[in-house]
Structure 1
Amino acid sequence: MFATPEQFAATNKANIETVLTLANAAFASAERLAALNLNTARVFLEDGVANTKALMAVKDAQEFVTIQSTLAQPAVEKMVAYARSVYEIATQSQDEVSKLMEGQIAEVNKGVAEALDKAAKSAPAGSDVAVAAVKSAIAAANSAYDSMNKAAKQVAEIAEANVAAATSATVKAVGTAQKAGTKKAA
């Protein structure tokens, strides 16, 4: 009924492996985010230099309006792509952590169930009701956790759909405004 030193060692080893897995996932996400940020900064710097050169070569107001309107759309599209990439990295990181935590919770539940079964075998007569009540409470807690987990996944899916719709609307709105600005200048 009591844990042995080997059981403590196995538990500690499993916990350390879990922490290392979480740390590796966090570092991988940070690495991807840093690479994205560096690449985005490089692209915006290069585009800024090219755009400045193009604007400096302008000869009249009509050409300025035309060039300015053609420069806006790609910049907005790149910002939307950047935001989408950050969102994807965050979502993937959250999924990795969720899967790991679900595995940990399953292991804890398995351990508790095994401990309850062992305790029930060595418990005095009449304690069946208490063991059944604890098992029922654990089942209810697991059911509540599963329900909350499913609800959180649905909220994440809705949020992802909303982000996709908002980014699409933003790109379309900028394109429409750009076309309207070009027509006014003409």
Structure 2
Amino acid sequence: MNFTPEQVAAVHKANVETLFGLTTKAFEGIEKLVELNLQVVKTTFTENVDNARKALAAKDAQEILAIHASLVQPIAEKAMAYSRHVYDIASETQSEFTKVAEVQLAENSKKIQALVESFAKNAPAGAESTVAIVKSAISAANNAYESVQKATKQAVETAESTLQAAAVATSKAAEQEGATAGAAAKKSTAA
């Protein structure tokens, strides 16, 4: 089967458009990360200035310990929220890439199937076993892709549940640390 120059140009154009689309999605993901990081830096700077003012206004060491105790849990929660935002951005970008890959794979699979069917119709006598082997190879490749896709989805689900479990554990640890620091500050004040 020979391709006409128009068909080759159409395939090339489609590939270039796909590349531009993926590049745009990648830049959107990077832009979201930059925006998130700028917001985190601004917020952190403002909070650090406020906390420094509170510490400088403290009348004694116990008050400084109480200020420290009040900051432990929010810091851990913010770190987990930041991690979650980064994960969401990466996941969204990866999802866009996966969608494009799935569409491209489906289109290419149809084209290959049509090519094999065309070859089978026009094949010389005795080529039936070759056609059967090619069809079998295509079927095996499609099955392998589906298996990889299922495994990838399971890995993403596992990563999400692990992230959620880590968030809960970190929050509990921060609460405990805050309570411990608060108790130490109260104990120090009582002494």
User: What TM-score comes out, normalization by structure 1 length?
Assistant: 0.97
- Using the TM superposition, name which of 14-23 and 117-126 deviates more: 117-126
In structure 1, the partner of 2:150 is 150
In structure 1, the partner of 2:180 is 180
Instruction: Tell me if 1:33 matches 2:33.
Output: yes
Distance in 2 (CA, whole Å) between partners of 1:101 and 1:15 is 12
In structure 2, the partner of 1:115 is 115
Note the alpha carbon deviations across 1:95-146, whole angstroms, 9 max, x for none. 1111111111111111111111111121101212211110111111110110
In structure 2, the partner of 1:132 is 132
Structure 1 gaps of 5+ residues are: none
Q: Kindly state the Cα deviation for residue 185 of structure 1 after the two structures are TM-superposed.
A: 2.4
In structure 2, the partner of 1:86 is 86
**Aligned AA (1:28):** E
In structure 2, the partner of 1:62 is 62
Distance in 1 (CA, whole Å) between partners of 2:168 and 2:45 is 25
Distance in 2 (CA, whole Å) between partners of 1:161 and 1:32 is 23
Distance in 2 (CA, whole Å) between partners of 1:162 and 1:28 is 26
Note the alpha carbon deviations across 1:2-50, whole angstroms, 9 max, x for none. 0111110110011011101100110110111111010111000000100
Structure 2 gaps of 5+ residues are: 187-191
Instruction: Tell me if 1:73 matches 2:73.
Output: yes
User: What TM-score comes out, normalization by structure 2 length?
Assistant: 0.94
Q: Moved runs in structure 1, 4+ residues, more than 2 A?
A: none
Q: Kindly state the Cα deviation for residue 87 of structure 1 after the two structures are TM-superposed.
A: 0.6
Distance in 1 (CA, whole Å) between partners of 2:11 and 2:120 is 23
Distance in 1 (CA, whole Å) between partners of 2:52 and 2:183 is 23
Q: Kindly state the Cα deviation for residue 72 of structure 1 after the two structures are TM-superposed.
A: 2.0
Number of positions where the alignment pairs a residue of Structure 1 with one of Structure 2: 186
In structure 2, the partner of 1:99 is 99
**Aligned AA (2:118):** K
Q: Kindly state the Cα deviation for residue 184 of structure 1 after the two structures are TM-superposed.
A: 2.4
Distance in 2 (CA, whole Å) between partners of 1:68 and 1:184 is 11
Q: Percent identity?
A: 44
**Aligned AA (1:179):** A
Distance in 2 (CA, whole Å) between partners of 1:150 and 1:24 is 27
Distance in 1 (CA, whole Å) between partners of 2:177 and 2:35 is 32
- Whether the 8 Å CA contact 2:69–2:182 is kept in 1: the answer is yes
- Whether the 8 Å CA contact 2:25–2:96 is kept in 1: the answer is yes
Instruction: Tell me if 1:47 matches 2:51.
Output: no
- Whether the 8 Å CA contact 2:120–2:131 is kept in 1: the answer is yes
